[in-house]
Chain A
Amino acid sequence: GQNIDQPTEMTATEGAIVQINCTYQTSGFNGLFWYQQHAGEAPTFLSYNVLDGLEEKGRFSSFLSRSKGYSYLLLKELQMKDSASYLCAVRDQSGGYQKVTFGIGTKLQVIP
């Protein structure tokens, strides 16, 4: 099975930087995803990590440490439109097939 933990809520100021952490436990790790979900909408893909290190994509970066079972999503130069839930998802292949399991999501509120 899998266990994914992330904070339920965070608040940050427009223009600032925020880091959203995710810890996981899985027996057959095969990649970690971050998704953004605005209220009432479908999740949209942000980033993917399978090797240790930092992946940068514009204002968003994602970091992975497989030995620590830890990832974070870094959002720079926050904008009001970044207010959304951010979902950490882990792909596991221990059952002989791929399965993607999501954390509960971190609800980020960006304030002026």
Chain B
Amino acid sequence: NAGVMQNPRHLVRRRGQEARLRCSPMKGHSHVYWYRQLPEEGLKFMVYLQKENIIDESGMPKERFSAEFPKEGPSILRIQQVVRGDSAAYFCASSPIASTGDTEAFFGQGTRLTVV
């Protein structure tokens, strides 16, 4: 029973390039959260998705950032025209249902993006 899989684990991009971060939730999980963590800081919520729907993107920067969770395949966080300030660890978490219970979110190992 594989956990939440994120790839790549490390990604280096030059300023102006695009970064694509992938997240495959745990089997049976249909809810995905993306968080960003800057060095020495806490997790900042970016976006919450269900299959084919963006539920809450209040934490996403207005420009250059987008996310999707298609019916088939992993969730993708896309950052266009990256800048140095985008360098951070990006964590994906998944959960099975959203309604009740101690259904904690399980985290992937994160993608560490470095913009040079």
Cβ–Cβ contact B110 & A99, under 8 A: no
Cβ of B65 < 8 Å from any Cβ of A? no
> B69 to chain A: which residues have CB within 8 Å?
none
| Total interface residues in chain A, CB < 8 Å | 23
- For A81-110 the 0/1 string (1 means CB < 8 A from B) is 000010100000001011111111100000
Query: Interface range on chain B: under 10, 10 to 19, 20 to 34, or 35 or more?
Result: 20 to 34
> A50 to chain B: which residues have CB within 8 Å?
102
Cβ of B98 < 8 Å from any Cβ of A? yes
> A42 to chain B: which residues have CB within 8 Å?
91, 107-110
Q: Which of B37-45, B70-78, B80-88 contacts A (4 or more CB under 8 A)?
A: B37-45
Cβ–Cβ contact B107 & A44, under 8 A: yes
Cβ of B12 < 8 Å from any Cβ of A? no
Interface residues of B (CB under 8 A from A): 31, 33, 35, 41-45, 48, 55-56, 91, 93, 98-100, 102, 104-110
Contacts A43-B91, A101-B45, A102-B35 aside, 18 further interface pairs with beta carbons under 8 A come to A30-B100, A31-B102, A42-B91, A42-B108, A43-B43, A44-B107, A48-B104, A87-B43, A95-B56, A97-B48, A97-B98, A98-B99, A99-B56, A100-B93, A103-B42, A104-B41, A104-B42, A105-B42
